Amino acid sequence: MKTLSRVLAPALLALSLGGLAVPAASAAPASVPVVQAADDAGLVAGRDCRAGDNLDEIAAKFISRCKKGSIRREFPSDRLSRSLGEIYDGKQRGDRDDVKAWKLLNDRRFDK
């Protein structure tokens, strides 16, 4: 009796809702274009998490989006307001804080 009620209850519910329910995934066409939303700063939400591909993004926003919070313990606090491009340029010049910041931004230990 219990097995019969386990089978009949979902079927009765589906019929009372107007027929059998079709899963949403099968109802959508296969070639649906992906639309990426832009946030308030105009940045696309679907960006990847490679520092080298996001040189125009501010370090604090990049860390919030792509890195664990524990990176902030070691990250030079005066570099949080700079763009990743500025940090990369400083690394190329040999600035020690920029070298450390860039190394932390690319360290896989801190990936989300």
**H-type helices in the chain, by residue range?**
2-16, 24-27, 59-66, 84-93, 96-105
Distance CA 32, CA 58 (A): 32
Give residue 110's domain range: 38-112
3-state secondary structure of 83: strand
**75 lies in a domain?**
yes
Q: pLDDT tens for residues 12-25? A: 556 666 655 444 54
- Measured CA to CA in angstroms, residue 64 lies from 28, 50, 57, 69, 93 at distances of 33, 13, 11, 7, 26
Q: For the chain, what is the domain count? A: 1
**62 lies in a domain?**
yes
Q: pLDDT tens for residues 35-73? A: 454 555 545 556 899 999 999 999 999 999 999 999 999
Q: What is the pTM of this model?
A: 0.59
**29 lies in a domain?**
no
**19 lies in a domain?**
no
Q: How confident is the model at residue 100 (pLDDT cuts 50, 70, 90)?
A: very high
Beta partners for residue 44, in sequence order = 38
Residue 67 burial (CB < 10 Å; 0-12/13-18/19+)? buried
